[in-house]
Amino acid sequence: MSTFVDEAAPATEALDEVTFEEKDDTTLVTGRTVFPAFQARELYAAAGAERGWPSATDASMN
């Protein structure tokens, strides 16, 4: 678990949780982010965060 604070909106601190689970010959990675308000989530999505996850993992190679 960790927290994330966007410098442009410091009141929108989010809690990030990532779990790793062995599954057959691979690892299943699950990420979850909890926001203090819906508007904070919208700022996060508008900044392109959702598109950033695959580029930071092997998922971008599949």
Average pLDDT over residues 11-33: 88
Each residue's pLDDT tens digit, 27-59:
888 888 898 888 888 887 887 766 666 666 665
Is the pTM higher than 0.95? no
Token pair belonging to 60:
């971008």
Provide CB contacts within 8 A for 8, sequence distance 6+: 43
Tell me, what's the pLDDT at 61?
A: 46
**Rounded distance between C-alpha atoms, residue 34 and residue 26, angstroms:** 26
Residue 18 has pLDDT above 60, yes or no: yes
List the domain boundaries for the chain: 2-61
Tell me, what's the pLDDT at 21?
A: 94
Tell me, what's the pLDDT at 54?
A: 65
C-alpha distances (whole Å) from 28 to each of 4, 13, 19 are 22, 26, 8
Tell me, what's the pLDDT at 51?
A: 67
